[in-house]
Amino acid sequence: MIPLVVILGRPNVGKSTLFNRLLKKKKSLTHNLPGVTRDNIYGEVIHEKVKFALVDTGGLVLEGEDEFEKEILVQAEEALSDADLVLFVVDGKDGLTPQDKEVARLLRQANKNTLLVVNKVDGFEQEDLLISDFYGLGFPMVAVSAAHGYNVRFLLDQVVENLPFVQSKDNIQMEEQGLKLCVLGRPNVGKSSLVNELFGRKKQIVSSVPGTTRDCVDLVIEKNGRHYILIDTPGVRRKSNIEGSLERFSVLRALKTSKRSDIVFLMVDALEGICHQDKKLISFLQREHIPFIVLVNKIDLLKENELKRIKEEIAYELRFCSYVPVVFTSTVTRAGMGSLVPLAEKVWEKSGIRISTSELNRLLREVQHKHQPPIVRGKRLKFYYVTQTDVYPPEFVFFVNNPSLIKASYKRFLENKIRNLFNLEMVPLKIYFRGRS
């Protein structure tokens, strides 16, 4: 069952405007339909791949005497009893009213997880002035303008952060269908042997279904009671007499298959090291932020001093994506084979890590205190706040005074800080900078 988020508040504070704004904010809205009563309206929202039900209730008048107001209260209390999170909406321009205090008392008695949403705050400059009245209510607070969209995305982030554990679309897909693995590499690096060693012979294949591209096949494989989807890439294995044609064709296959994969195994020939074609595939995977693991195969054919040399060479070639796991393997001796599937699952798990906004901003304050950003063109970069906006892979947005002041070196510095502090090694990170407006 998906979690339920209920919007509550006295009349005319903008609850319905907020409801419509939250539903229309993301194109991932699944449906919006009237509830079983005339007063409660239901919809479903998917934000950051987390789905939740949203309920808009009528304006609460706790001491109401007419039947209409009593019916609204009954329906609101029924919704409240099932709520996993309550959005308590107040009017920032009206300030705190006695009716707001009564609604707050009701919520405290219900002992529900609550976010106080101060509506009709039209910008950052108004926040301090309009929200000060509401601190005494004791609820975590977010200032928004439902009519103009100010801070609504941040509110959605806070909703997701305050929900009980829910499964993302990706996790549900993984459990129901299987983790999608793709093996890429040049001809004759041992891809077919790898598949057989990892998952056994054809007797282990429980089904075969057509892939989304004309010449790719998805193999649904069972191993240790779990299912995995192996995205086969016959195109990468084709030989060609023209190196340029092979290169273009292989990269095209990588583009089509890797984007459907959860984790990519990129196989490299230990005898040849990382060649030009491998670099193109690495560049593509890095640019697309696709989690991948480099497998350096055929180490059984290397002498000890040659293995040391190839390890140094691989480390040098991957210096700009040093977070990528590297495993040295042999499909002949099975060296490294046993660690690959557990490693893929670990990388996938880390890709879904979500970090609270408060933790991120604590890091931001520490970074600004110890490592001020460099002055660019006589101007210094100023950070306002940072928030995580997506998972699979993790995505972070820094709100700053001027994004053009960001240097690539400082971006890498921030990425490394996030990666090291929050245990995000092995996965790509998306980092963006936006002006506050």
Determine the pLDDT at residue 53: 81
Binding residue per annotation — 56?
Answer: yes
Instruction: State yes or no: 188 annotated in a binding site.
Output: yes
Residue 299 marked as a ligand binder = yes
What is the DSSP-derived secondary structure letter of residue 139? S
Q: Judge whether 341 is annotated as a binding position.
A: no
13 is in an annotated binding site: yes
Under DSSP, is residue 267 helix (H, G, I), strand (E, B) or coil?
A: strand
Residue 240 known to bind ligand = no
Residue whose tokens read 């009563």:
37
pLDDT per residue over 372-418, tens digit each?
887 888 888 889 999 999 999 999 999 999 999 998 889 999 999 99
Burial class (CB in 10 A: 0-12, 13-18, 19+), 38: exposed
Q: E strands within 9-91?
A: 31-34, 41-47, 50-56, 85-91
Determine whether the annotation assigns residue 294 to a binding site.
no
Looking at mean pLDDT, say which of 35-49, 114-128, 333-347 comes out highest.
333-347
Q: Is 57 annotated as a binding residue?
A: yes
Q: Is 9 annotated as a binding residue?
A: yes
Please give the biggest Cα pair distance in the chain.
89
Mean pLDDT for the stretch of residues 414-427: 93
The answer to whether 338 is annotated as binding is no
185 is in an annotated binding site: yes
Is 194 annotated to bind a ligand? Reply is no
Place of tokens 């990892």: 198
| 98 marked among binding-site residues | no
20-39 mean pLDDT: 46
Nearest by Cα to 22 from 110, 151, 109: 151
Which domains are seen in the chain, by residue range?
4-166 (3.40.50.300), 170-351 (3.40.50.300), 357-435 (3.30.300.20)
Q: According to the annotation, is 202 in a ligand binding site?
A: no
Q: pLDDT value at position 65?
A: 65
Task: Collapse the DSSP code of 140 into the 3-class scheme (helix H, G, I; strand E, B; otherwise coil) and give the result.
Answer: coil
80 appears as a binding residue in the annotation: no
pLDDT at 339: 93
152 labeled part of a ligand binding site: no
User: Contact 207/220 with Cβ under 8 angstroms?
Assistant: yes
Q: Is 119 annotated as a binding residue?
A: yes
Per the annotation, does 192 bind a ligand?
Answer: yes
* pLDDT in the model for residue 220: 59
> What's residue 36's pLDDT?
28
At 219, the pLDDT band (50, 70, 90 cuts) reads low
CB 8 within 8 A of CB 80: yes
For the residues 165-177, what does the mean pLDDT come to? 50
Q: Is 10 annotated as a binding residue?
A: yes
Q: Is the pTM for the entire model greater than 0.85?
A: no
The pLDDT tens digits of the residues spanning 151-166 come to 999 999 999 988 875 5
Consult the annotation and say whether 11 binds a ligand. Answer: yes
Cα–Cα nearest to 403, from 429, 428, 430, 384? 384
Q: How far is CA 225 from CA 178, 182, 221, 228, 351, in A?
A: 11, 20, 10, 10, 23
64 in a labelled binding site: no
Short-list 276, 281, 278, 277, CA closest to 256: 281
Q: Does 164 count as an annotated binding residue? A: no
122 is in an annotated binding site: yes
